Amino acid sequence: MNSDLPVFGVCGWSGSGKTTLIEELVRRLVARQLKVAVAKHDAHGFDVDRAGKDSDRFFRAGADALLGGPDETFCRQHHGDRLPLRELATRYDLVFVEGHKSLPLPRKVWLGDNCPPEAAPVTRILRADEDRVAIALQMVDDWLRHLATATPVYAGVLFGGASERMGQPKHLLPTGAATWIERTTATLQPHVKRVALLGHGEVPAGLRDQPLLPDVTDREGPVAGMLAAMRWQPLATWLFVACDLPQLSDEAVRWLLNQRAPGVWATLPRLGGGVEPLLAHYDFRARWLLEECRGPSELARRPRVATPTPPEKLAAAWQNVNTPEELKAIA
């Protein structure tokens, strides 16, 4: 299990209080607007549907059964003994695992005085005479704050638009001894693990060692490049940046990265009455939001997407340039 994934195990013998602890932790975390899942393992198997019902008949015939109601959905899958933890962890702020004591997890507590060897390693043993809720909640809070900034950060520079109003490819415009796309890449590199170029067109010789990802074929516009990046590195935090931001600064990048926090899946800065999605932060969970959108600005209406206003002294970093006149104005 990837140590950067938010999966927290609660183990103990039958009757030790696992369900009670998880129930209270879930209630408190959901009240903070976090999205939480619980994966329960039962060594004796379980029965969640009445024999003879349509969905049970479909499942026993070999199909995965999905049930939908007015405010809920249930999925019953044939996974054998495998819990789909990695998949769940890319869609939730936190996943609790109840039971499955031998499964190695990034964080795991044991309820009781003595932890059996098969459950090791555990992060902490919680005795019955301790305030288990307070201790476990503090563990979760500290860990989620750590994960919010510990996830590897990549940057994607989008280029290759028509640039009709500028009259030439914007990413190749000179700024000093470099082109716009080279300056943008150089500004981002100290803050990220890798910079990927997203789009099509001529790439300056100095950037030909950078990953060049073509747009996905099932989408259009900026989302096509953004999804190409997120499908390439699905467990990374991404900064997506347009190539036509000649006033991009280190200070603006640092401010943007400082907006990362538990429960924030994307940060789209708000300037001039709208949001700016192409000098913005996208947690790996935001991929599932983008998969459902036509344009990245639509995310501003979704839960777990922050839209803070940058300090006025940094606002110029988000000013894109589309015409020779606009370029002359900022020169």
Report pLDDT digits (tens) over 136-148. Answer: 999 999 999 999 9
Measured CA to CA in angstroms, residue 320 lies from 14, 42, 172 at distances of 60, 55, 15
Query: Is the separation of the CB atoms in 194 and 209 below 8 Å?
Result: no
Structure tokens at 85: 């933890």
Structure tokens at 307: 């839209």
* Domains of the chain in sequence order: 7-41+83-149 (3.40.50.300), 152-330 (3.90.550.10)
- Return the H-helix or E-strand segment holding 76: strand 73-76
Report pLDDT digits (tens) over 221-268. Answer: 999 999 999 999 999 999 999 999 999 999 999 999 999 999 999 999
Which ranges of 8-131 would DSSP assign to H, the alpha helix? Answer: 18-31, 54-60, 85-89
Q: How far is CA 222 from the centre of its chain?
A: 18
The mean pLDDT value of the chain amounts to 90
Q: Hunting for tokens 């809920």 — which residue is that? A: 72
Report pLDDT digits (tens) over 159-182. Answer: 987 777 888 889 999 888 899 999
User: Taking 90 as the threshold, does the pLDDT of residue 331 lie above it?
Assistant: no
User: Taking 80 as the threshold, does the pLDDT of residue 30 lie above it?
Assistant: yes
